[in-house]
Structure 1
Amino acid sequence: MITDEDRERVRAATDLVQLVQETVPLQPRGQEFWGCCPFHGEKTPSFHIIPSTQVWHCFGCGEGGDVFSYVMKRENLSFPESIRYLADRAGIEIHDTQDGRQRGTKRSRLIDVCEETAAFYHTMLMRGKDARPRTYFASRGMGGAVCRTYRLGFAPGRGALVSHLSSHGFTPQEMVDANVAMRRSNGGLADRFFDRVMFPIFDEQGRCIAFGGRIMGQGEPKYLNTAETPLFHKKRNLYGFNWAKEHIVAQAEAIVVEGYTDAIACWEAGIGNVVATLGTALTEHHVKTLTRFAKRIVYLFDGDAAGQKAAERAIQFIERDSMDLRCVVLPDGQDPMEFISAHGGDALRERISAAEPLMDFVFRKLEDRSDISTPGGRTKALQDACRLIYPLRRSYMIDSYYIQIADRLGLDLDAVRSAAGRVFRDVQREEEVSSRRERERAAARERVEASRGGSAGWRETMRGSSNAPRRGASPAPDFVDGADEVDVPVDYVPADAYDDATAAQSARQQAATMPVLTDLERRSIAGERELLSLLTSYPDVFRPFAERITEIDWVDPRHEAIAWAVLATPEGTEPVQVMDAARAVCPEAAQLVSAGTIAVTSSHPTEVNIGFLLDTLELYTVRRRLRASQAKLRQDRSLAAEDRRALTIQATKDAARVHELERAVEGVADPFRLLDGEGASES
Structure 2
Amino acid sequence: MAGLINEEDLATVRERSRIEDVIGSYVTLRRSGGGSLTGLCPFHDERTPSFHVTPARGFFHCFGCGEGGDVISFVQKINHVSFAEAVEFLADRVGLQLRYSDGGGQRVEPGLRLRILEANQLAAEFFSGHLLAPSGLPGRQFLDGRGFDKDAAEHFGIGFAPTGGRELGQHLRSRGFSDDELVKAGLVRENGWDFFQGRVLWPIRDAGRSVLGFGARKIFDDDRMPAKYLNTPETIVYKKSTVLYGLDLARGNIAKKNQAVVVEGYTDVMACHLAGVDTAVASCGTAFGDDHARMLQRLLGTGDVSGGEVIFTFDGDAAGQAAALKVFKGDQNFLAQTYVAVEPGGLDPCDLRIQQGEAALRELVGRRVPLYQFVMRNVLAGYDLDRVDGRLAALRAAAPLVSSIRDESLVLGYVRELAKWLGMDPEEVRREVKVTVQRRSRTAERRPEQEEALPIPEPRPGLPVPDPRDRRLEAERGTLRLIVRAPETFTADWNGLVADDFTHPAYRALFESVLSAADGAGQWTQRILHARPDPVLEQLVVSLAVEPVLRDPTEAYAREYAAQLRVQGLSRKIAGLKSKLQRTNPLDDQQAYNRMFATLVNLEKERKELLALATGPAL
Instruction: For 2:370 and 2:411, locate their aligned partners in 1 and report how far apart those are by CA, in whole Å.
Output: 18
Alignment equivalent of 1:314, drawn from 299, 317, 327: 327
Alignment equivalent of 2:273, drawn from 251, 263, 267: 267
Alignment equivalent of 1:289, drawn from 278, 291, 295: 295
SS in 1 for 2:189: strand
**Which letter maps to 1:298?**
I
Q: Deviations over 1:516-564 (max 9, x none)?
A: xxxxxxxxxxxxxxxxxxxxxxxxxxxxxxxxxxxxxxxxxxxxxxxxx
SS in 1 for 2:128: helix
> In the alignment, what sits opposite 2:460?
none
Q: Deviations over 1:490-533 (max 9, x none)?
A: xxxxxxxxxxxxxxxxxxxxxxxxxxxxxxxxxxxxxxxxxxxx
SS in 1 for 2:245: coil
Q: Percent sequence identity over matched residues?
A: 31
> In the alignment, what sits opposite 1:198?
201
Alignment equivalent of 2:43, drawn from 2, 23, 28: 23
Please tell me whether the aligned partners of residues 95 and 102 of structure 1 are also in contact (alpha carbons under 8 angstroms): no
> TM-score, structure 2 length as denominator?
0.55
User: Kindly tell me: are residues 78 and 238 of structure 1, through their superposed partners in 2, closer, same or farther at Cα, counting changes over 3 Å?
Assistant: closer
> In the alignment, what sits opposite 1:622?
none
Please tell me whether the aligned partners of residues 23 and 293 of structure 1 are also in contact (alpha carbons under 8 angstroms): no
**Which letter maps to 1:81?**
E
Please tell me whether the aligned partners of residues 282 and 314 of structure 1 are also in contact (alpha carbons under 8 angstroms): yes
> In the alignment, what sits opposite 2:532?
none
Question: Does 1:300 pair with 2:313?
Answer: yes
Q: Deviations over 1:140-197 (max 9, x none)?
A: 22233322222222222533333333333222221221112222xxxx3232223322
Displacement after TM superposition at 1:337 (Å) = 0.9
Question: Does 1:210 pair with 2:213?
Answer: yes
Q: Deviations over 1:547-591 (max 9, x none)?
A: xxxxxxxxxxxxxxxxxxxxxxxxxxxxxxxxxxxxxxxxxxxxx
> In the alignment, what sits opposite 1:160?
167
> In the alignment, what sits opposite 2:454?
none
SS in 2 for 1:227: coil
SS in 2 for 1:137: helix
SS in 1 for 2:238: coil
User: Kindly tell me: are residues 422 and 403 of structure 1, through their superposed partners in 2, closer, same or farther at Cα, counting changes over 3 Å?
Assistant: farther
Displacement after TM superposition at 1:302 (Å) = 3.2
Question: What is the number of equivalent residue pairs in this alignment?
Answer: 404
Please tell me whether the aligned partners of residues 10 and 83 of structure 1 are also in contact (alpha carbons under 8 angstroms): no
User: Kindly tell me: are residues 87 and 383 of structure 1, through their superposed partners in 2, closer, same or farther at Cα, counting changes over 3 Å?
Assistant: farther
Instruction: For 1:312 and 1:172, locate their aligned partners in 2 and report how far apart those are by CA, in whole Å.
Output: 44
Alignment of 1:435-584 (within 5 A): none
Q: Deviations over 1:276-309 (max 9, x none)?
A: 2213333333233323343222222234332333
Instruction: For 2:55 and 2:391, locate their aligned partners in 1 and report how far apart those are by CA, in whole Å.
Output: 59
**Which letter maps to 1:370?**
Y
Instruction: For 1:251 and 1:51, locate their aligned partners in 2 and report how far apart those are by CA, in whole Å.
Output: 35
Alignment of 1:137-156 (within 5 A): 137-155=143-161, 156=163
SS in 1 for 2:242: coil
**Which letter maps to 2:240?**
K
User: Kindly tell me: are residues 389 and 199 of structure 1, through their superposed partners in 2, closer, same or farther at Cα, counting changes over 3 Å?
Assistant: farther
> In the alignment, what sits opposite 1:136?
142
Question: Does 1:8 pair with 2:10?
Answer: no
Q: Deviations over 1:395-447 (max 9, x none)?
A: 86897567765564335444455567779999999x99xxxxxxxxxxxxxxx
User: Kindly tell me: are residues 70 and 150 of structure 1, through their superposed partners in 2, closer, same or farther at Cα, counting changes over 3 Å?
Assistant: closer
**Which letter maps to 2:97?**
D
Instruction: For 1:328 and 1:17, locate their aligned partners in 2 and report how far apart those are by CA, in whole Å.
Output: 44
Question: Does 1:250 pair with 2:256?
Answer: yes
> In the alignment, what sits opposite 1:476?
none
Q: Deviations over 1:430-479 (max 9, x none)?
A: x99xxxxxxxxxxxxxxxxxxxxxxxxxxxxxxxxxxxxxxxxxxxxxxx
> In the alignment, what sits opposite 2:118?
112
> TM-score, structure 1 length as denominator?
0.50
SS in 2 for 1:275: strand
SS in 1 for 2:214: strand
> In the alignment, what sits opposite 2:72?
68
**Which letter maps to 2:266?**
Y
> In the alignment, what sits opposite 2:59?
54
Alignment equivalent of 1:348, drawn from 357, 361, 366: 361
Please tell me whether the aligned partners of residues 158 and 202 of structure 2 are also in contact (alpha carbons under 8 angstroms): yes
> In the alignment, what sits opposite 1:519?
none
> In the alignment, what sits opposite 1:238?
244
Q: Deviations over 1:370-390 (max 9, x none)?
A: 332235644653465357579
Bigger relative contact order, structure 1 or 2 (CA pairs below 8 A, ≥6 apart): 1
Instruction: For 2:169 and 2:58, locate their aligned partners in 1 and report how far apart those are by CA, in whole Å.
Output: 49
Question: Does 1:327 pair with 2:309?
Answer: no
Displacement after TM superposition at 1:105 (Å) = 0.6
Instruction: For 1:356 and 1:339, locate their aligned partners in 2 and report how far apart those are by CA, in whole Å.
Output: 18
Please tell me whether the aligned partners of residues 204 and 242 of structure 1 are also in contact (alpha carbons under 8 angstroms): yes
Q: Deviations over 1:106-161 (max 9, x none)?
A: 10111122122222322332214363222222222223332222222222253333
SS in 2 for 1:282: coil
Question: Does 1:176 pair with 2:196?
Answer: no
SS in 2 for 1:209: strand
Instruction: For 2:420 and 2:78, locate their aligned partners in 1 and report how far apart those are by CA, in whole Å.
Output: 40
Alignment of 1:557-636 (within 5 A): none
Instruction: For 1:333 and 1:223, locate their aligned partners in 2 and report how far apart those are by CA, in whole Å.
Output: 21
Please tell me whether the aligned partners of residues 159 and 190 of structure 1 are also in contact (alpha carbons under 8 angstroms): yes
Greater shift, 107-116 or 155-164, is seen at: 155-164
User: Kindly tell me: are residues 399 and 328 of structure 1, through their superposed partners in 2, closer, same or farther at Cα, counting changes over 3 Å?
Assistant: closer
Instruction: For 1:300 and 1:226, locate their aligned partners in 2 and report how far apart those are by CA, in whole Å.
Output: 24
User: Kindly tell me: are residues 197 and 404 of structure 1, through their superposed partners in 2, closer, same or farther at Cα, counting changes over 3 Å?
Assistant: same
Question: Does 1:82 pair with 2:86?
Answer: yes
Q: Deviations over 1:624-644 (max 9, x none)?
A: xxxxxxxxxxxxxxxxxxxxx
Greater shift, 211-220 or 371-380, is seen at: 371-380
> In the alignment, what sits opposite 1:359?
372
SS in 2 for 1:281: coil
> In the alignment, what sits opposite 1:609?
none
**Which letter maps to 2:213?**
A
SS in 2 for 1:270: coil
Please tell me whether the aligned partners of residues 153 and 199 of structure 1 are also in contact (alpha carbons under 8 angstroms): yes
Instruction: For 1:394 and 1:296, locate their aligned partners in 2 and report how far apart those are by CA, in whole Å.
Output: 14
User: Kindly tell me: are residues 133 and 71 of structure 1, through their superposed partners in 2, closer, same or farther at Cα, counting changes over 3 Å?
Assistant: closer
What is the Cα-based RMSD across aligned positions, in Å?
Answer: 4.5
User: Kindly tell me: are residues 297 and 161 of structure 1, through their superposed partners in 2, closer, same or farther at Cα, counting changes over 3 Å?
Assistant: same
Greater shift, 260-269 or 353-362, is seen at: 353-362
SS in 2 for 1:131: helix
User: Kindly tell me: are residues 307 and 146 of structure 1, through their superposed partners in 2, closer, same or farther at Cα, counting changes over 3 Å?
Assistant: same
Please tell me whether the aligned partners of residues 218 and 228 of structure 2 are also in contact (alpha carbons under 8 angstroms): yes
Please tell me whether the aligned partners of residues 244 and 273 of structure 1 are also in contact (alpha carbons under 8 angstroms): yes
Could you list the runs of 5+ residues in structure 1 that have no partner in the other structure? 35-48, 58-62, 433-683
Displacement after TM superposition at 1:329 (Å) = 0.7
**Which letter maps to 1:221?**
A
Instruction: For 1:387 and 1:226, locate their aligned partners in 2 and report how far apart those are by CA, in whole Å.
Output: 39
**Which letter maps to 1:226?**
T
Please tell me whether the aligned partners of residues 198 and 212 of structure 1 are also in contact (alpha carbons under 8 angstroms): yes
> In the alignment, what sits opposite 1:279?
285
- Whichever of the two has the greater Rg, that structure is 2
